[in-house]
Amino acid sequence: MSKEATASQPRTPMGPIRVLVVDDSPTVRALLVEILRGDPGFDVVGEGADGREGCELAARLRPDVITMDIEMPRVNGHEATARIMAEWPTPIVVITGSDSVPERMRTMEALAAGALAVLPKPHGPGESAFEEDARRIVETVKAMADVKVVRRHLSSSTSTAPAGPRALASPPRPDTPPKRIVAIVASTGGPQALKAILTALPASFPAPILVVQHMADGFVPGFAEWLDAACALAVHLAEDGMAAEPGHVYIAPNGRQMGVTAAGRIELADDPPIGGFRPAGTYLLRSVAQAHGEAALGVVLTGMGSDGAEGALSIRERGGTVIAQDEESSVVFGMPGAAVQLAAVHEVVGLRGMAAAILRLTDRERSEP
């Protein structure tokens, strides 16, 4: 049975964030409600026991944000997310256990369908990790509630933004040698953007691709598996000392900073977080700039905050090239916008044109008409 509050009026600018909680476990559902109601900034307006109820309540209550489980009877969290984003676009935070391969894949598909973030289910109140879990849930739900999501068609997770690049100051010279290493950084909205880009690149792609995607602990291995299954490129969870080879993608693991040597070897380090992130996009981009200079291509995708901006500037200052996702196709223009504001970006490109731009800069012969 679903539960819902009597009040269902839209949130006022100064009012509490209206949350719908969807989870088939009564215990987990009650725990999430307790965590959220413990913060005066939230009003839990409804509870759904499966994806079907979640869709019904989303349509009726029009909450500001939804927390969504994945493995549920009747309609799972991926299917519910896809329907909600197609019919009643709402910020969605996936909260799941991700214990099995099918659940990990469905979690990633929910992100591709438009969910904004994924978190593990919280430990119980008697466990040492509970307070940190609760803090992370409260902070994430608050942050995602302010994201302006857009309607997404059920048949597609790619952007409809114009594909043409918009040049900023001093674009790369036509005679610049092709880029031989690509570093991509992303946060909120990144999983769907990365999937759209990487699935459009051929297995014969002429450069290695290193990726920092901000994601909660425990989900990055499943993210790498999901991309590997979807792409012609080979996708790996990066390991220290691994050779970065053309046609391969390397995803930074949680809890380590990722860089690369001039010889093309991946380096994982326990260096401090940058801007609260480890891995940090700026760390990766700085490393690529220092090791590869003008042969480096930096790509800054959708995401909250400013991670990657300082690193992008390092690439530009060392003669490399930086492109950023445009505001129209970004879920959040924070990271690419910060790089643009820092004058680190050569071109701003819509998501539909990003793969073509990367090919143009890494393989001049392939991209020539």
Catalytic residue from among 307, 329, 330, 346:
307
Q: Which two tokens stand for residue 288?
A: 């690529």
Under the phi-then-psi rule, with left for phi > 0, alpha for psi from -120 to 50, and beta for the rest, what region is 189? left
CB atoms near residue 5 (< 10 Å): 12
**Residue 292 known to be catalytic:** no
Neighbouring-strand partners of residue 266? 260
**Catalytic one among 78, 214, 248, 292?**
214
Instruction: Clarify whether 187 is annotated catalytic.
Output: yes
> Alpha-carbon distance 69 to 289, whole Å?
40
CA distance 326 to 352: 10
Crossing angle (nearest 10°) for helices 51-61 and 77-87? 20
Q: Which residue in 98, 157, 159, 187 is the catalytic one?
A: 187
Q: How far is the C-alpha of 107 from the C-alpha of 97, rounded, in Å?
A: 10
Q: How far apart are CA 124 and CA 146, in angstroms?
A: 28
- Verify whether residue 153 is a known catalytic residue: no
Residue 173 DSSP code: P
Please check whether residue 308 is in contact with residue 193, taking contact to mean a CB–CB distance below 8 angstroms.
no
Of 147, 77, 61, 64, give the one whose Cα is nearest residue 112. 77
Which of 162, 255, 161, 242 lies closest to 208 in space, CA to CA?
242
Q: Which residues are catalytic?
A: 187, 214, 307
